[in-house]
Amino acid sequence: MPHDHRSPVTPSTRKLTRAFAWGITLNLLYSAIEFGIGFHSGSMGLMADAGHNLSDVISLVLALLAIRLSARKATRRYTYGFKKSTILASLFNAVLLLIAVGMIAAESISKFFRPQPVEGFAIAWTAGAGVIVNFLTAWLLMRGQERDLNVRGAFLHMIADALVSIGVVASGLVIAYTGWTVIDPIMGLLIALIIVVSTRRLLCDSLRLSLDGVPCGLDAERIAEIVRTTPGVEHIHHLHIWAISTTQNALTVHAVLADERQSSEVRREIRRRLRAEGITHATIETEIAGGEGDEDED
Q: Which residues contact 290 (CB under 8 A, 6 or more apart)?
A: none
Mean pLDDT of the chain: 79
Q: Which domains does the chain have, with CATH numbers?
A: 11-210 (1.20.1510.10), 220-288 (3.30.70.1350)
At 231 the pLDDT is 92
CB-based burial label for 113 (10 Å; 0-12, 13-18, 19+): exposed
Examine the pLDDT at 294 and tell me if it is beyond 50. Answer: no
Q: Give the 3-state secondary structure of residue 133.
A: helix
Give the confidence band of 116 by pLDDT, cuts at 50, 70, 90.
low
Who has greater pLDDT, 115 or 99? Answer: 99
The count of other CB atoms within 10 Å of the CB of residue 75 is 12
> How confident is the model at residue 1, as a pLDDT?
47
Q: How far apart are CA 40 and CA 123, in angstroms?
A: 11
Does residue 43 surpass a pLDDT of 80? no
Q: Residues in the chain, how many?
A: 298
pLDDT classification of 270: cutoffs 50, 70, 90: very high
Lowest mean pLDDT among 24-38, 39-53, 212-226, 246-260: 39-53
Name the more confident of 13 and 46.
46
What is the amino acid identity at position 282?
Answer: A
Determine what percent of the chain is predicted with pLDDT higher than 90: 18
User: Which residue has better confidence, 261 or 100?
Assistant: 261
Q: What is the mean pLDDT of residues 76-102?
A: 76
